[in-house]
Structure 1
């Protein structure tokens, strides 16, 4: 019987996870199936329970269920505990539901692929939601110099920084970013890209030496990438590599083999350009 995997979400039609994991399986010689499963907004727990009862081996979780997945787990990784959100599920040998959040590892892998070693770099992250929470520990593990969490609602950023309780993590409002704010890498983790908008930050803060990363992605340049390029930034990347990177981490948890990201990323980018 072929091992069965799936991604749960609502909506789920747009998900690229089946394509990504099918490519990983071919690349690593693994025999498995991977499908999209539309879970009812009020029926995620039942859908996951049935999936594993019917022999499912592992699952990814996307919006709006990552927080619900965290609550369901018997055991979670440190990143998942900080994020209070899970995107990767599997059962251990005792039947316990294990949860991880691989988004941060996917981000770090793509940052280093795009921009080189990030150790000792100063990172500014725009936003303070679940996407940010899951990325803090993987960034700290890379020995970055400093992380500034900047959010429209300042208290949300300062509360998150206080929760992390590390001397090199600071929270502030978006309007606190200025020419004096040290920044090597600027990461947009806000939801503004969904509407084709950009977060409001002072032009004085932006300078040409900054490398910019947008967690949002699309077949065209994102609004954020266009905006920073107009302000002189020449090194930038969208979040498609993060998507493939976090999927590779999930695949590794399930199959105990790590696939190569680059070939799948190139195939996916090519596929998106045709659409």
Structure 2
């Protein structure tokens, strides 16, 4: 843990609303310290109505190396960046912004790669499996591309607004030149990798993304929510014999990548 912060430190923020669930500081600060980087990550609670104003202010903070972006800003941040990494542009959402050498803010996207890295680290390789993902936000889009690139044989996408699910499926198929993604109802089938890519589960009384009665011991249930590490969905899935995978592994799966990017500019 960082014990002394002085004027030589560079800052990394994490912006979102709410922000109490953010686990990036817990996971990336030890990496900065282990690498001897004079950097520290802090959470910043920024409501959507104030995003553009705060963004302009962040531009003036000269020792700001960059910031992570979480709900609800991942798609709104896209238009505020001075430039975009090709993957962020393709996905249509940003989850990391880095101050470049010229002072500009460049948007990056590590959600999908971090999610797949986390799955593999925990022994849940998606290759050769069918997947059902619930959600159609910025993280969901990134995860959809990453799952297809990781070798899933079919990707069903469900969302409360099915038009948004169809939009993601169409974009994935267009980019990959395939018909691997489809928009379907959130009805788990035996053997599937089930992914909750929504914010449902941040609160204990949230609705569930799909009926837990349909979960069985042939499935793996994965979350993007990192706090709590075991959501109600994961607890119910575990009770039904399914393998479970916390959203904390997505955070850990991308923390090293984010640290690489932010440390590099100041080194």
TM-score if structure 2 supplies the norm length?
0.82
- Asked if residue 198 in structure 1 is aligned to residue 198 in structure 2, the reply is no
Shift of 1:32: 1.5
* Cα 1:202/1:236, change in 2 over 3 Å: closer
Shift of 1:236: 0.9
Match of 2:36 among 29, 33, 43: 29
Match of 2:179 among 163, 167, 179: 167
Partner of 2:5: none
* Cα 1:145/1:182, change in 2 over 3 Å: farther
Partner of 2:221: 212
Shift of 1:31: 1.6
* Separation in 2, partners of 1:14, 1:136: 23
Q: Any gaps of 5 or more consecutive residues in structure 1?
A: 258-275
* Separation in 1, partners of 2:41, 2:152: 36
- Asked if residue 98 in structure 1 is aligned to residue 110 in structure 2, the reply is no
Shift of 1:58: 1.2
Confirm or deny: 8 A CA contact 1:153 1:173 kept in the other structure. Answer: no
Partner of 2:45: 38
* Separation in 2, partners of 1:124, 1:11: 27
Match of 2:136 among 128, 138, 156: 128
Q: Any gaps of 5 or more consecutive residues in structure 2?
A: 1-7
Confirm or deny: 8 A CA contact 2:217 2:240 kept in the other structure. Answer: yes
Partner of 1:222: 231
Confirm or deny: 8 A CA contact 2:158 2:184 kept in the other structure. Answer: yes
* Separation in 1, partners of 2:111, 2:168: 17
* Separation in 1, partners of 2:78, 2:29: 26
Confirm or deny: 8 A CA contact 2:132 2:157 kept in the other structure. Answer: yes
Confirm or deny: 8 A CA contact 1:105 1:249 kept in the other structure. Answer: no
* Cα 1:92/1:213, change in 2 over 3 Å: same
**Would you identify which runs of 4 or more consecutive aligned residues in structure 1 move more than 6 Å?**
none
Shift of 1:40: 5.0
The alignment of Structure 1 onto Structure 2 pairs a total of residues equal to 251
Shift of 1:103: 1.2
* Separation in 2, partners of 1:64, 1:124: 23
Partner of 2:127: 119
What CA deviation, in whole Å up to 9, does each residue of 1:220-252 have, x standing for no partner? Answer: 63111122223332x212111112323332212
* Cα 1:91/1:151, change in 2 over 3 Å: same
* Separation in 1, partners of 2:238, 2:84: 39
SS of 1:89's partner is strand
Partner of 2:97: 89
* Separation in 1, partners of 2:41, 2:212: 44
What CA deviation, in whole Å up to 9, does each residue of 1:184-212 have, x standing for no partner? Answer: 31112233313433223484x53312111
